[in-house]
Chain A
Protein backbone atom coordinates (compact mmCIF):
# COMPACT_ATOMS: atom_id res chain seq x y z
CA UNK A 1 0.00 0.00 0.00
CA UNK A 2 1.61 3.34 -0.99
CA UNK A 3 1.56 6.46 1.10
CA UNK A 4 -2.03 7.66 0.64
CA UNK A 5 -1.67 11.32 1.53
CA UNK A 6 1.21 13.79 1.22
CA UNK A 7 0.08 16.82 3.20
CA UNK A 8 1.51 20.26 3.92
CA UNK A 9 0.11 21.55 7.21
CA UNK A 10 1.91 23.87 9.62
CA UNK A 11 -0.06 22.47 12.58
CA UNK A 12 1.53 19.09 11.73
CA UNK A 13 -0.50 16.40 13.54
CA UNK A 14 -3.94 17.63 14.65
CA UNK A 15 -7.63 16.76 14.50
CA UNK A 16 -8.14 17.23 10.77
CA UNK A 17 -5.17 14.95 10.13
CA UNK A 18 -5.97 12.23 12.67
CA UNK A 19 -9.77 12.11 12.49
CA UNK A 20 -10.63 14.02 9.31
CA UNK A 21 -8.25 12.07 7.02
CA UNK A 22 -6.76 9.35 9.23
CA UNK A 23 -10.02 7.57 10.01
CA UNK A 24 -11.59 7.34 6.53
CA UNK A 25 -8.25 6.46 4.88
CA UNK A 26 -7.49 3.92 7.62
CA UNK A 27 -4.04 5.41 8.20
CA UNK A 28 -1.68 3.11 10.14
CA UNK A 29 1.48 5.20 10.18
CA UNK A 30 2.32 8.89 9.88
CA UNK A 31 5.71 10.20 8.76
CA UNK A 32 6.28 13.65 10.24
CA UNK A 33 9.06 15.47 8.38
CA UNK A 34 10.42 18.36 10.43
CA UNK A 35 14.08 18.80 11.28
CA UNK A 36 13.47 20.54 14.61
CA UNK A 37 10.89 18.04 15.88
CA UNK A 38 13.02 15.09 14.72
CA UNK A 39 15.75 16.35 17.09
CA UNK A 40 13.52 17.04 20.11
CA UNK A 41 12.34 14.28 22.45
CA UNK A 42 9.74 16.29 24.33
CA UNK A 43 8.09 17.56 21.15
CA UNK A 44 7.94 14.03 19.75
CA UNK A 45 6.25 12.90 22.97
CA UNK A 46 3.59 15.58 22.50
CA UNK A 47 2.92 14.74 18.85
CA UNK A 48 2.76 11.01 19.59
CA UNK A 49 -0.03 11.73 22.06
CA UNK A 50 -2.15 13.23 19.28
CA UNK A 51 -2.62 9.89 17.52
CA UNK A 52 -4.33 6.70 18.69
CA UNK A 53 -2.02 3.97 20.01
CA UNK A 54 -2.51 1.81 16.95
CA UNK A 55 -1.00 4.45 14.68
CA UNK A 56 2.80 4.68 14.48
CA UNK A 57 4.48 8.07 14.12
CA UNK A 58 7.86 8.21 12.38
CA UNK A 59 9.90 11.40 12.89
CA UNK A 60 12.36 12.37 10.19
CA UNK A 61 14.24 15.33 8.80
CA UNK A 62 14.24 16.17 5.10
CA UNK A 63 17.42 14.18 4.37
CA UNK A 64 16.08 11.05 6.06
CA UNK A 65 12.80 11.50 4.19
CA UNK A 66 14.66 11.64 0.85
CA UNK A 67 16.49 8.41 1.55
CA UNK A 68 13.62 6.49 3.18
CA UNK A 69 10.56 7.58 1.19
CA UNK A 70 10.70 4.64 -1.23
CA UNK A 71 10.81 2.24 1.78
CA UNK A 72 7.77 3.91 3.33
CA UNK A 73 6.01 3.75 -0.05
CA UNK A 74 6.67 0.00 -0.13
CA UNK A 75 5.38 -0.50 3.44
CA UNK A 76 2.36 -2.86 3.49
CA UNK A 77 0.57 -0.49 5.92
CA UNK A 78 -1.40 2.62 4.94
CA UNK A 79 0.65 5.74 5.48
CA UNK A 80 0.56 9.54 5.41
CA UNK A 81 3.48 11.96 5.05
CA UNK A 82 3.29 15.38 6.68
CA UNK A 83 5.48 18.44 6.35
CA UNK A 84 5.00 21.81 8.04
CA UNK A 85 6.16 23.91 5.07
CA UNK A 86 6.07 24.02 1.28
CA UNK A 87 9.87 24.21 1.31
CA UNK A 88 10.29 20.89 3.15
CA UNK A 89 7.96 19.11 0.73
CA UNK A 90 9.81 20.65 -2.23
CA UNK A 91 13.15 19.66 -0.69
CA UNK A 92 12.09 16.00 -0.40
CA UNK A 93 11.34 15.88 -4.13
CA UNK A 94 13.99 18.38 -5.33
CA UNK A 95 17.06 17.47 -7.42
CA UNK A 96 16.25 13.89 -8.25
CA UNK A 97 14.56 12.99 -4.97
CA UNK A 98 11.93 10.25 -4.72
CA UNK A 99 8.64 10.46 -6.62
CA UNK A 100 5.63 12.11 -5.01
CA UNK A 101 2.36 11.57 -6.91
CA UNK A 102 0.05 14.09 -5.21
CA UNK A 103 0.29 16.88 -2.64
CA UNK A 104 -2.54 18.03 -0.37
CA UNK A 105 -2.32 21.62 0.92
CA UNK A 106 -4.09 21.24 4.25
CA UNK A 107 -3.19 24.32 6.25
CA UNK A 108 -0.57 27.01 5.71
CA UNK A 109 -1.44 29.91 7.97
CA UNK A 110 -0.83 33.62 8.15
CA UNK A 111 2.66 35.00 8.54
CA UNK A 112 4.08 38.37 7.44
CA UNK A 113 4.66 38.26 3.68
CA UNK A 114 2.03 35.61 3.01
CA UNK A 115 -1.18 36.44 1.13
CA UNK A 116 -4.51 34.73 1.73
CA UNK A 117 -5.44 32.31 -1.06
CA UNK A 118 -8.10 30.35 0.88
CA UNK A 119 -9.26 30.70 4.49
CA UNK A 120 -6.72 28.02 5.44
CA UNK A 121 -4.01 28.69 2.85
CA UNK A 122 -1.73 31.72 2.98
CA UNK A 123 1.32 31.68 0.68
CA UNK A 124 4.20 33.99 -0.18
CA UNK A 125 4.84 34.43 -3.90
CA UNK A 126 7.97 32.25 -3.58
CA UNK A 127 5.96 29.46 -1.96
CA UNK A 128 3.40 29.67 -4.73
CA UNK A 129 6.15 29.52 -7.37
CA UNK A 130 7.68 26.50 -5.61
CA UNK A 131 4.31 24.75 -5.81
CA UNK A 132 3.99 25.62 -9.51
CA UNK A 133 7.44 24.09 -10.07
CA UNK A 134 6.33 20.90 -8.30
CA UNK A 135 3.21 20.82 -10.47
CA UNK A 136 5.31 21.18 -13.61
CA UNK A 137 7.32 18.27 -12.26
CA UNK A 138 4.15 16.16 -12.71
CA UNK A 139 2.78 16.28 -9.17
CA UNK A 140 -0.97 16.81 -8.77
CA UNK A 141 -1.50 19.59 -6.18
CA UNK A 142 -4.81 20.52 -4.57
CA UNK A 143 -5.87 22.37 -1.42
CA UNK A 144 -8.40 20.60 0.80
CA UNK A 145 -8.57 20.86 4.60
CA UNK A 146 -10.91 17.91 5.28
CA UNK A 147 -12.26 15.16 2.99
CA UNK A 148 -15.80 16.57 3.04
CA UNK A 149 -14.84 19.86 1.38
CA UNK A 150 -14.01 20.50 -2.28
CA UNK A 151 -10.46 19.95 -3.50
CA UNK A 152 -9.29 23.31 -4.89
CA UNK A 153 -6.87 23.22 -7.84
CA UNK A 154 -3.54 25.04 -7.53
CA UNK A 155 -4.48 27.32 -10.45
CA UNK A 156 -7.33 28.73 -8.35
CA UNK A 157 -4.86 29.92 -5.71
CA UNK A 158 -2.96 32.31 -8.01
Chain B
Protein backbone atom coordinates (compact mmCIF):
# COMPACT_ATOMS: atom_id res chain seq x y z
CA UNK B 1 0.00 0.00 0.00
CA UNK B 2 1.43 3.42 -0.85
CA UNK B 3 2.34 5.62 2.08
CA UNK B 4 1.15 9.18 2.32
CA UNK B 5 3.12 11.77 4.23
CA UNK B 6 1.16 14.81 5.26
CA UNK B 7 3.40 16.93 7.46
CA UNK B 8 7.04 16.87 8.27
CA UNK B 9 8.22 16.13 11.79
CA UNK B 10 11.17 18.44 11.10
CA UNK B 11 11.64 21.05 8.40
CA UNK B 12 9.02 22.42 6.10
CA UNK B 13 5.72 20.67 5.45
CA UNK B 14 5.40 19.49 1.88
CA UNK B 15 1.75 18.58 1.70
CA UNK B 16 0.79 15.03 0.86
CA UNK B 17 3.25 13.45 -1.55
CA UNK B 18 2.58 9.76 -2.15
CA UNK B 19 5.34 7.16 -2.30
CA UNK B 20 4.65 4.62 -5.00
CA UNK B 21 6.86 2.55 -7.28
CA UNK B 22 8.10 0.16 -4.58
CA UNK B 23 8.13 -2.85 -6.90
CA UNK B 24 10.15 -1.06 -9.54
CA UNK B 25 12.60 0.32 -6.99
CA UNK B 26 12.97 -3.14 -5.45
CA UNK B 27 13.81 -4.65 -8.84
CA UNK B 28 16.31 -1.86 -9.53
CA UNK B 29 18.05 -2.49 -6.20
CA UNK B 30 19.33 -5.80 -7.59
CA UNK B 31 21.60 -3.72 -9.84
CA UNK B 32 22.55 -1.17 -7.20
CA UNK B 33 26.27 -1.81 -7.83
CA UNK B 34 26.11 -1.77 -11.66
CA UNK B 35 27.86 1.61 -11.96
CA UNK B 36 30.15 1.08 -8.93
CA UNK B 37 33.06 3.52 -8.96
CA UNK B 38 35.62 4.91 -6.54
CA UNK B 39 34.10 8.39 -6.44
CA UNK B 40 30.42 7.75 -5.67
CA UNK B 41 30.50 4.00 -4.99
CA UNK B 42 26.81 2.95 -4.97
CA UNK B 43 25.63 6.51 -5.69
CA UNK B 44 24.44 6.07 -9.27
CA UNK B 45 22.72 2.75 -8.49
CA UNK B 46 20.92 4.38 -5.55
CA UNK B 47 19.82 7.29 -7.73
CA UNK B 48 18.55 4.84 -10.34
CA UNK B 49 16.55 2.89 -7.72
CA UNK B 50 15.23 6.11 -6.12
CA UNK B 51 13.75 7.43 -9.37
CA UNK B 52 10.41 5.53 -9.26
CA UNK B 53 10.00 6.24 -5.52
CA UNK B 54 10.56 9.98 -5.92
CA UNK B 55 8.10 10.34 -8.81
CA UNK B 56 5.28 11.21 -6.39
CA UNK B 57 7.26 14.19 -5.09
CA UNK B 58 7.58 15.66 -8.56
CA UNK B 59 3.84 16.23 -8.76
CA UNK B 60 3.64 18.13 -5.45
CA UNK B 61 6.96 19.95 -5.22
CA UNK B 62 9.13 19.88 -8.34
CA UNK B 63 11.92 21.97 -6.80
CA UNK B 64 12.25 19.60 -3.85
CA UNK B 65 12.05 16.68 -6.27
CA UNK B 66 15.07 17.94 -8.26
CA UNK B 67 17.09 18.43 -5.05
CA UNK B 68 16.08 15.02 -3.73
CA UNK B 69 16.90 13.28 -7.01
CA UNK B 70 20.32 14.96 -7.05
CA UNK B 71 21.01 13.90 -3.44
CA UNK B 72 19.88 10.34 -4.16
CA UNK B 73 22.79 9.85 -6.62
CA UNK B 74 25.50 11.34 -4.39
CA UNK B 75 28.30 9.31 -2.74
CA UNK B 76 26.90 6.33 -0.89
CA UNK B 77 28.30 3.01 0.13
CA UNK B 78 26.89 0.13 2.13
CA UNK B 79 26.27 -3.56 1.81
CA UNK B 80 24.30 -4.03 -1.45
CA UNK B 81 21.63 -6.29 0.08
CA UNK B 82 20.80 -3.70 2.77
CA UNK B 83 20.85 -0.68 0.46
CA UNK B 84 17.02 -0.75 0.45
CA UNK B 85 16.97 0.33 4.12
CA UNK B 86 18.96 3.46 3.28
CA UNK B 87 17.03 4.07 0.07
CA UNK B 88 13.66 3.73 1.81
CA UNK B 89 14.68 5.83 4.82
CA UNK B 90 16.15 8.66 2.77
CA UNK B 91 13.17 8.75 0.39
CA UNK B 92 10.75 8.85 3.35
CA UNK B 93 12.83 11.67 4.84
CA UNK B 94 12.63 13.59 1.55
CA UNK B 95 8.82 13.23 1.52
CA UNK B 96 8.70 14.35 5.15
CA UNK B 97 10.54 17.54 4.20
CA UNK B 98 13.59 16.88 6.39
CA UNK B 99 16.45 19.34 6.00
CA UNK B 100 19.24 18.68 3.50
CA UNK B 101 21.78 18.46 6.32
CA UNK B 102 19.82 15.85 8.30
CA UNK B 103 19.28 13.68 5.21
CA UNK B 104 23.00 13.78 4.34
CA UNK B 105 23.91 12.90 7.94
CA UNK B 106 21.40 10.05 7.96
CA UNK B 107 22.95 8.63 4.80
CA UNK B 108 26.49 9.01 6.16
CA UNK B 109 25.60 7.17 9.36
CA UNK B 110 23.79 4.45 7.40
CA UNK B 111 26.82 3.99 5.13
CA UNK B 112 28.96 2.57 7.88
CA UNK B 113 26.24 0.89 9.87
CA UNK B 114 24.59 -0.97 7.01
CA UNK B 115 28.02 -1.81 5.63
CA UNK B 116 29.11 -3.39 8.90
CA UNK B 117 25.76 -5.13 9.51
CA UNK B 118 25.69 -6.52 5.97
CA UNK B 119 29.26 -7.74 6.22
CA UNK B 120 28.40 -9.53 9.49
CA UNK B 121 25.09 -10.94 8.24
CA UNK B 122 26.12 -11.92 4.71
CA UNK B 123 29.83 -11.85 3.82
CA UNK B 124 31.03 -13.25 7.14
CA UNK B 125 27.74 -14.99 8.02
CA UNK B 126 25.21 -16.41 5.58
CA UNK B 127 27.65 -16.78 2.67
CA UNK B 128 30.31 -18.93 4.42
CA UNK B 129 27.57 -20.77 6.37
CA UNK B 130 25.63 -21.76 3.24
CA UNK B 131 28.81 -22.47 1.26
CA UNK B 132 30.15 -24.66 4.08
CA UNK B 133 26.86 -26.56 4.09
CA UNK B 134 26.88 -26.82 0.28
CA UNK B 135 30.41 -28.27 0.26
CA UNK B 136 29.47 -30.81 2.96
CA UNK B 137 26.39 -31.87 0.97
CA UNK B 138 28.41 -32.00 -2.27
CA UNK B 139 31.07 -34.25 -0.76
CA UNK B 140 28.76 -36.50 1.23
CA UNK B 141 25.83 -36.60 -1.18
CA UNK B 142 26.01 -34.98 -4.62
CA UNK B 143 27.41 -31.76 -6.15
CA UNK B 144 24.01 -30.86 -7.65
CA UNK B 145 22.31 -31.01 -4.26
CA UNK B 146 25.05 -28.74 -2.92
CA UNK B 147 24.53 -26.23 -5.73
CA UNK B 148 20.73 -26.30 -5.43
CA UNK B 149 20.71 -25.99 -1.66
CA UNK B 150 23.16 -23.07 -1.74
CA UNK B 151 21.38 -21.09 -4.46
CA UNK B 152 17.87 -21.57 -3.08
CA UNK B 153 18.79 -21.11 0.59
CA UNK B 154 21.10 -18.15 0.12
CA UNK B 155 18.95 -16.26 -2.37
CA UNK B 156 15.73 -16.99 -0.50
CA UNK B 157 17.15 -15.25 2.58
CA UNK B 158 18.77 -12.49 0.58
CA UNK B 159 15.62 -11.54 -1.38
CA UNK B 160 13.47 -11.60 1.76
CA UNK B 161 15.95 -9.35 3.60
CA UNK B 162 16.14 -6.91 0.68
CA UNK B 163 12.34 -6.57 0.56
CA UNK B 164 12.10 -6.19 4.35
CA UNK B 165 14.81 -3.51 4.14
CA UNK B 166 13.10 -1.36 1.54
CA UNK B 167 9.73 -1.63 3.33
CA UNK B 168 11.18 -0.87 6.75
CA UNK B 169 13.17 2.09 5.43
CA UNK B 170 10.11 3.61 3.75
CA UNK B 171 7.92 3.04 6.81
CA UNK B 172 10.32 4.49 9.37
CA UNK B 173 12.38 7.22 7.66
CA UNK B 174 14.63 9.02 10.16
CA UNK B 175 13.70 6.43 12.82
CA UNK B 176 15.20 3.60 10.80
CA UNK B 177 17.93 3.07 13.43
CA UNK B 178 15.41 2.16 16.13
CA UNK B 179 13.56 -0.04 13.64
CA UNK B 180 16.70 -2.04 12.89
CA UNK B 181 17.72 -2.25 16.55
CA UNK B 182 14.33 -3.71 17.54
CA UNK B 183 14.15 -6.10 14.58
CA UNK B 184 15.51 -9.62 14.01
CA UNK B 185 18.88 -8.24 12.90
CA UNK B 186 20.80 -8.14 16.23
CA UNK B 187 19.65 -11.67 17.16
CA UNK B 188 20.43 -13.28 13.81
CA UNK B 189 23.73 -11.47 13.59
CA UNK B 190 24.88 -13.25 16.77
CA UNK B 191 24.19 -16.80 15.66
CA UNK B 192 24.77 -16.66 11.91
CA UNK B 193 28.49 -16.04 12.50
CA UNK B 194 28.72 -19.00 14.88
CA UNK B 195 26.90 -21.21 12.36
CA UNK B 196 29.33 -20.05 9.66
CA UNK B 197 32.32 -20.89 11.86
CA UNK B 198 30.98 -24.36 12.59
CA UNK B 199 29.90 -25.27 9.04
CA UNK B 200 33.12 -24.04 7.42
CA UNK B 201 34.98 -26.02 10.10
CA UNK B 202 33.12 -29.22 9.20
CA UNK B 203 33.60 -28.62 5.46
CA UNK B 204 37.39 -28.18 5.56
CA UNK B 205 38.45 -31.76 6.52
CA UNK B 206 35.75 -33.25 4.29
CA UNK B 207 36.92 -31.17 1.33
CA UNK B 208 40.52 -32.16 2.05
CA UNK B 209 39.60 -35.83 2.06
CA UNK B 210 37.54 -35.50 -1.16
CA UNK B 211 40.37 -33.72 -3.01
CA UNK B 212 43.31 -35.80 -1.77
CA UNK B 213 41.35 -39.10 -1.77
CA UNK B 214 42.97 -40.68 -4.84
CA UNK B 215 46.52 -40.02 -3.70
CA UNK B 216 49.05 -42.15 -1.82
CA UNK B 217 49.75 -41.77 1.89
CA UNK B 218 53.03 -39.90 1.43
CA UNK B 219 51.44 -37.46 -1.02
CA UNK B 220 48.60 -36.77 1.41
CA UNK B 221 51.17 -36.07 4.13
CA UNK B 222 52.97 -33.62 1.82
CA UNK B 223 49.62 -31.92 1.10
CA UNK B 224 48.96 -31.53 4.82
CA UNK B 225 52.53 -30.23 5.21
CA UNK B 226 51.93 -27.57 2.55
CA UNK B 227 48.75 -26.57 4.38
CA UNK B 228 50.54 -26.28 7.75
CA UNK B 229 53.39 -24.27 6.22
CA UNK B 230 50.83 -22.00 4.53
CA UNK B 231 49.06 -21.45 7.84
CA UNK B 232 52.33 -20.59 9.55
CA UNK B 233 53.19 -18.12 6.78
CA UNK B 234 49.69 -16.62 6.91
CA UNK B 235 50.10 -16.14 10.66
CA UNK B 236 53.55 -14.59 10.29
CA UNK B 237 52.71 -12.24 7.37
CA UNK B 238 49.08 -11.63 8.27
CA UNK B 239 49.04 -8.10 6.91
CA UNK B 240 50.22 -8.80 3.38
CA UNK B 241 49.46 -12.41 2.70
CA UNK B 242 46.54 -13.57 0.57
CA UNK B 243 45.44 -17.10 -0.26
CA UNK B 244 45.77 -16.73 -4.02
CA UNK B 245 49.35 -15.51 -3.65
CA UNK B 246 50.28 -18.56 -1.58
CA UNK B 247 48.60 -20.82 -4.15
CA UNK B 248 50.53 -19.20 -7.01
CA UNK B 249 53.77 -19.45 -5.02
CA UNK B 250 53.18 -23.17 -4.38
CA UNK B 251 52.41 -23.74 -8.09
CA UNK B 252 55.53 -21.83 -9.19
CA UNK B 253 57.77 -23.82 -6.81
CA UNK B 254 56.43 -27.16 -8.07
CA UNK B 255 56.87 -26.14 -11.71
CA UNK B 256 60.43 -24.93 -11.03
CA UNK B 257 61.30 -28.12 -9.13
CA UNK B 258 60.18 -30.32 -12.01
CA UNK B 259 61.87 -28.11 -14.58
CA UNK B 260 58.63 -27.10 -16.29
CA UNK B 261 59.43 -23.43 -15.75
CA UNK B 262 62.89 -22.33 -16.95
Give A residues with C-beta under 8 Å from B.
11-19, 24, 36-37, 40, 42-43, 45-47, 49-53, 109-110, 116, 119-120, 144, 147-151
Is B258 close to A, CB under 8 A? no
Once A36-B105, A110-B38, A110-B40 are accepted as A-B contacts, the answer to whether A15 and B241 lie under 8 Å apart by CB is no
Residues of B96-113 whose CB lies within 8 A of A: 105, 108-113
Q: Say what secondary structure dominates the interface of chain B.
A: helix
Q: Which residues of B contact A24 (CB under 8 A)?
A: 238
Docked-complex contact B239 and A148, CB < 8 angstroms: yes
14 inter-chain pairs at a CB distance below 8 angstroms, sorted by A residue, are A13-B116, A14-B77, A14-B113, A15-B119, A15-B120, A17-B112, A36-B105, A43-B109, A50-B116, A53-B186, A119-B38, A120-B38, A150-B239, A150-B240
Q: Which one of A47, A116, A148 lies within 8 Å of B241 (CB-CB)?
A: A148
Given B105, B117, B123, B124, which contacts A43 in the complex, CB threshold below 8 Å? B105
Verify A49–B75 contact, CB threshold 8 A. Answer: no
- List, in ascending order, chain B residues with CB within 8 A of A148's CB: 238-242
Category for how many chain B residues contact A? 35 or more
Q: Is the CB of A50 within 8 A of B75?
A: no
Contact of B116 among A19, A109, A110 (CB under 8 A): A19
Determine if B38 and A15 form an interchain contact, defined as CB atoms under 8 angstroms apart.
Answer: no
Q: Do residues A147 and B118 form an inter-chain contact, with CB atoms below 8 A?
A: no
B39 in contact (CB, < 8 A): yes
Chain B residues closer than 8 Å to A40, beta-carbon distance: 105
Q: Which residues does chain A contribute within 8 Å of B124, judged by CB atoms? A: 19
Check if A11 sits within 8 Å of B180, measured CB to CB: no
Identify B178's interface contact among A18, A45, A47, A51, CB under 8 A.
A45
B42 within 8 A of A: no
Is B240 within 8 A of A47, CB to CB?
no
Complex Cα spacing A45 to B182, Å: 12
Residues of A within 8 A of B105 (CB): 36, 40, 43
In contact, A47 and B75 (Cβ under 8 angstroms):
no
Instruction: Identify which of residues 169-218 in chain B touch chain A, using a CB-to-CB cut-off of 8 Å.
Output: 174, 177-178, 180-181, 185-186, 189-190
Interface centre among B38, B109, B120 (most CB of A within 10 A): B109
Given A110-B38, A110-B39, A119-B38, A15:B115 Cβ within 8 A:
yes
Query: Is the CB–CB distance between A14 and B38 below 8 Å?
Result: no
* Assembled-state Cα–Cα distance A122/B200 (Å): 37
In the assembled complex, B79 has its CB within 8 A of some CB on chain A: yes
A114 (CB) vs chain B CBs: closest residue: B39
Query: Which residues in A have their C-beta under 8 angstroms from that of B38?
Result: 109-110, 116, 119-120
Q: Is the CB of B120 within 8 A of A18?
A: yes
Bound: A13/B108 CA distance, A:
10
| Bound-state Cα–Cα, A45 to B77, Å | 19
> In the complex, what distance in Å separates the CA atom of A120 from the CA atom of B77?
12
B189 smallest CB distance to A (angstroms): 8
Q: Which of B38, B40, B238, B242 has the most CB of A within 10 A?
A: B38
Q: Which of A12, A17, A46, A144 contacts B177 (CB 8 A)?
A: A46
- Chain B residue, CB-CB nearest to A25: B238
Question: Shortest distance in angstroms between B177's beta carbon and chain A's nearest beta carbon?
Answer: 4
Q: Is the CB of A18 within 8 A of B119?
A: yes
> How far is it, in angstroms, between the C-alpha of A40 and the C-alpha of B105 when the chains are bound?
10
Chain B hits for A18, CB < 8 A:
116, 119-120
**Residues A109 and B39 in contact, CB atoms below 8 Å apart:** yes
A contact residues around B75 at 8 Å (CB):
109-110
